[in-house]
Amino acid sequence: MLAPMICLPQPDAAIIARKAEILTGLRAILDAADVIDDDLLLRAYETDALTAYRQRPLAVVLPHTTEQVAAVLRYADREGLPIVPRGAGTSLSGGAVPVADAIVIGMGRFNRILEIDYADRCVVAQSGVTNLAISQAVAGRNFYYAPDPSSQIACTIGGNVAENSGGVHCLKYGLTTHNVLGVEMVTPQGEVLRLGGRHLDAGHYDLLGLMIGSEGLLGIVTEVTVRILPKPQTARAVLIGFATATGASACVADVIAAGIIPAGLEMMDGPAIRAAEDFVQAGYPLDVEAVLIVELDGPQAEVDELIGRVTGLAKRHGATSCRASADEAERLRFWAGRKAAFPAVGRISPDYLCMDGSIPRRQLASVLQSIAELSSRHGLRVANVFHAGDGNLHPLILYDANRPGELDRAEAFGSDILRLCVDAGGVLTGEHGVGIEKRDLMTYQFGPTDLEVQHRIKRVFDPQLRFNPGKVFPTLSRCSEQGREHVHAAVTRHAGLPRF
Amino acid sequence: MDSFRPHNEAELAQLLSVPGPAFELLAGGTKRSIGRPMDAPILDLSGLSGIVDYQPGELVLTARPATALVEIEAVLAAQRQRLGFEPPAATLLDASRQQTLGGVLMANSSGSRRVTAGSARDHFLGFRAVNGRGEAFVGGGRVVKNVTGFDLPKALAGSWGTLAALTEVTVRLVPAAESESTLLFASTSVDAAVDLCSQGLGSMFEVSAAAFVPDRGVALRLEGLVSSVQSRIAGLLATMGRTVHTQLAADESRRFWQRIGAAEALAGCAVIWRLSVAPRQAARILDDIEPETFQLDWGGGLMWVGTRHLDARRVRGALRGGHATLIRAPEAERCANAVFEPQAPAIAAIAARFKAAFDPQNRLNPGRMS
């Protein structure tokens, strides 16, 4: 059974017919150079990191100030125009894929860090500042911003808020939602709100908590206040090889059960190990079917003690190799293979789909086994590279979009994996978001009432359903014929970004 | 009252799906004195009790909301685990009653470790609940990492039972620390105390809590392996260039932080406010309020302020951002004053529509947060 093609909402022909008038309206608010309608330039905005789906929007605007964002949104509200918010366009779930009758609001010009406050340990940044730029801005004083999505050199803090982004270290330090103190945002009606601030927790309903991870459905964030943390005194990693994924999975469970919360606990399976080793020669064992990278950080005395405990657990689970990093160079070498795993897989397959299910840790071994069975059934290879410590799987489904029907088969395989995650007591997405990619599977995880409760919240903020249409919630709207093009080499966009 | 005591989710949904009165939701009842008083029959949720699933290796627990907190804490302690947000005792409110897990989550009640480990809402992974329309629904999930759909646990945490009645909750757990120790330093001023807290929390030595009680001084807590705690204390003292006033060993340290979490220093005050602010504002706010007594937690960001008179205008007028909640006051004062921080008009309008999305007939804790 093939997965149905993901549909983008049918554009409103009446809006498209008014394009010239709308551009004039937008240019009355913004400088002409900040309103893009040139077909060639619009191509830069036609997709995000889910590159199998492309759609040029009606126009792109690049405002410089919150007041400009508000003015554009008041105009769009008056005119009934759909809006697609966009940070750096690194969403892996199609969260920033445009629709044909929408105005994309690109937040790239909101690129300034406004304040660094070491006494209260927070940074105030405009929403287009990159994730990594925040850590870099405070590195000199030995602070950092903890969530580290793999695209952190490119992705924006505003996009992180929209997606509630995670990263390798969120096992210990939490997702975006645990590290954001406040936002300035603009509602679909063009009202500027401040939620949170530099204090902790909400004095009334936690609308800030609701905004984080709302995937651009409720408004657009213009400024973010994040907590920064002192850098740990030291970090060390252990690279452990296992003859089977089952052995590695059991070791993961025992590390957690032993009361150890590593800064990162990553697993790669045989195909991923061999692809990575072939690509970057990180020194991974090639005679194993799974490796774990367990990173401990914190005070020196604690880290050294815990390294010993983890090593002991690994041996008890029959590890075939186990090496603790002796110095920083070796620790980084352990990570080099992991961080290069996605592009490495890109070298052995013309295209791949990256899935993002999340499961209870105790289900790791059985779910990996079922994924292997699905792989043979669908006739497509799979490589597993994932955050084992928090049960967040990233199966990479290898396919060739140039072969007719193969993308459809890859998507069907992916849907089966996500249903498997839900059946195992897990969820559709651990950190990449629902977007358009998993939208039609929402009914598998949630019942009609559950979804209606969430959709009512959507309508509280956006009663006309104009913000990021076609994302997160399954709709009955007819398919746009322009929706999906079969694009080869889906990994070429942001090819230089590490993916993990 | 028996007719308003559901034994399961289906009975609760049935009760709320047919026209009927508005209810005051009650289980343990320790926090009943917080919020505007309600004149409504009690919806007794104490029947929704018991641990549903606890797998220590998952660091996740699922329970019905009226399960007593002490029961959960005992079960976790037996596995050397705990709730990361350190829910404080409710002795300031009503020591004769038992806090429940659901009550703690609905109040987003977090203790001293909140400043480093997150609040109740941060550990609240998922739930089943019945809203004011009588609809049973789920939010979040049972796994630690989940961004599927809106983050409804955040929406319900701190909603004080005004949106939905919980029927089952899932929380994440953390390993219990093997050891802890607390350093006490004398401090001459509130500003100096907050600075000291900031130094501790901003250091690489993993201070897990930082408080200031005027008659005890600044307290910094370190938790972890025994060997690690001792070496971090040495490192911290060297970095700060401080001599220790007092060092509290494990048991004494635990008792100290229990008293801080429960704000016992304010037990004698007629009126108690709880303020969440940017830590560096604490000293100025205290100058403005001139309270009878106070204590600071969360490195200065959580202010417990005791006053003789309500002084709502003065307390809230002292804020530059953040919020003030009235924790203790005579009932008449709670009727006449906003217990929760008044919101900007645009946000209040969204909050009202938000409430209506869950509870359009205003049947759940009517007026409590108004």
pLDDT tens, residue by residue, B273-283: 999 999 999 99
The yes-or-no verdict on residue B95 having pLDDT over 80 is no
| A438/B325 CB distance under 8 A | no
Give the count of Cβ contacts less than 8 A between chain A and B. 259
What average pLDDT score do residues A281-292 get?
95
Of A467-476, B28-37, B345-354, which range is least confident?
A467-476
When pLDDT is averaged across residues A106-130 and rounded to a whole number, the result is 98
User: Is residue B161 over pLDDT 60?
Assistant: yes
C-alpha distances out from residue A62 to A47, A87, A91, A105, B25, Å? 16, 11, 19, 6, 48
Mean pLDDT (chain B) is: 95
Task: Return the percentage of chain A with pLDDT > 90, whole number.
Answer: 89
Name the band, by pLDDT with cuts 50, 70 and 90, for residue A496. low
- Alpha-carbon separation of residue B145 from A167, A396, B124, B169 (angstroms): 11, 19, 11, 16
Predicted local distance difference test score (pLDDT) of residue B93: 78
Is the model's pLDDT at A4 over the cut of 60?
A: no
Q: Which residues of B touch A459 (CB under 8 A)?
A: 357
Helix, strand, coil tally for chain B in percent (to 5): 35, 25, 40
What tokens does B36 get?
């505007």
E strands, A57-191, in order: 59-61, 83-86, 103-106, 113-117, 122-126, 143-144, 180-186
Find the mean pLDDT for residues B290-297: 97
Tell me the pLDDT of chain A averaged across its residues: 93
pLDDT recorded at residue A497: 57
B341-360 confidence digits (pLDDT tens):
999 999 999 999 999 999 99
Residue A433 has pLDDT above 80, yes or no: yes
Burial class (CB within 10 angstroms; exposed 0-12, middle 13-18, buried 19+) of B96: exposed
Cross-strand bridge partners of residue B328: B272
Chain B residues closer than 8 Å to A171 by CB:
144
For A339-355, what is the mean pLDDT? 91
Res. A29 pLDDT band, cuts 50 70 90: very high
Q: Which amino acid is at B244?
A: V
Any B CB within 8 A of A200 CB:
yes
Residue A358 and residue B141: Cβ atoms within 8 Å?
Answer: yes
Chain A residues whose CB is inside 8 A of the B58 CB are 256, 360-362
Phi, psi of A362 (to 5 degrees): -70, -15
Question: What are the pLDDT digits (tens) for B231-246?
Answer: 999 999 999 998 777 9
pLDDT at res. A301: 87
**Which residues in chain B have their CB less than 8 angstroms from residue A201's CB?**
108, 110, 114, 119, 121, 158, 276
ipTM: 0.97
Average pLDDT over residues B78-93: 93
Residue A124's pLDDT band (cuts 50, 70, 90): very high
CB distance B148–A438 less than 8 Å? yes
Set of chain A residues whose Cβ sits within 8 Å of the Cβ of B203:
230
B108·A175 Cβ contact <8 A: no
Partners of residue A385 on adjacent β-strands = A268
Q: Exposed (0-12), middle (13-18) or buried (19+): which is B78, by Cβ within 10 Å?
A: exposed
Name the helix (H) or strand (E) containing B172: strand B164-172
Q: Which pLDDT score is estimated for A69?
A: 98
Q: What's the mean pLDDT in A145-159? A: 95
Among candidate residues A55, A90, A4, A83, the one with its CA nearest the CA of residue A443: A4
Helix (H, G, I), strand (E, B) or coil at B11: helix
Averaged pLDDT for residues A135-142: 98
Backbone angles phi and psi of B153, in degrees to 5: -55, -35
Share of chain A above pLDDT 70, in %: 94
Chain A residues with CB inside 8 Å of B114's CB? 200-201
d(CA B191, CA B98): 37
* Residue found under tokens 């609940």: B129
Which residue in the set B59, B137, B232 is minimally distant from A256, CB to CB? B59
Nearest Cβ partner for A209 among B81, B155, B206:
B155
Q: Give the nearest chain B residue to A360 (CA atoms).
A: B143
| pLDDT grade for B135, boundaries at 50, 70 and 90 | very high
**Phi first, then psi: what are they for B251, rounded to 5°?**
-65, -45
pLDDT of amino acid A1: 30
Give the model's pLDDT for residue A405. Answer: 92
Tokens of residue B318, six digits = 């002292």
Average pLDDT of the residues in A259-277: 95
What is the rounded distance in angstroms from the CA atom of residue A238 to the CA atom of residue A397? 28
Distance from CA of B174 to the nearest CA of A (A): 8
Integer Cα distance of A262 and A240 in angstroms: 14
Confidence band for A52, pLDDT divided at 50, 70 and 90: confident
C-alpha–C-alpha distance, residues B346 and B353, integer Å: 11
* Residue B101 structure tokens: 């897990």
Q: How close is the nearest chain A Cα to the Cα of B128, in Å?
A: 10
Residue B114, both tokens:
């909140």
Query: Could you give the C-alpha distances from A445 to A94, A390, A415, A428, in angstroms and in order?
Result: 19, 19, 12, 7
A20 has pLDDT over 50: yes
pLDDT for the residue numbered A489:
42
Measured CA distances, B39 to B23, B36, B178, B367 (Å): 9, 10, 47, 10
- State what percent of residues in chain B have pLDDT above 90: 94
d(CA B368, CA B366): 6
With CA atoms as reference, the chain A residue closest to B222 would be A299
Report residue A339's pLDDT band, with 50, 70 and 90 as the boundaries: confident
pLDDT of residue A500: 53
Task: With 0.90 as the threshold, say if the pTM is over it.
Answer: yes
Query: What string of DSSP letters covers B37-61?
Result: ---S-EEE-TTS-SEEEEEGGGTEE
Average pLDDT over residues B268-295: 97
Name the minimum distance, in Å, from the CA of B181 to any CA of chain A: 15
Give the CA dihedral B348, B102, B301, A120, nearest 10 degrees. -90
pLDDT of residue A8: 86
Checking if the pLDDT of A290 tops 80, the result is: yes
* The predicted structure's pLDDT at residue A475: 74
Q: Which helix (H) or strand (E) holds B229?
A: helix B226-240
Mutation site, B147, B206, B303, B358, interface A, largest A CB count within 10 A: B147
Return the pLDDT at A410: 95
- pLDDT band of residue A97 (cuts 50, 70, 90) is very high
Q: What amino acid is encoded at A322 in this protein?
A: C
Q: Read off the pLDDT of residues A186-201 as tens digits, 9 standing for 90 and up.
A: 999 999 999 999 999 9
Alpha carbon B68 to its chain's center: 16
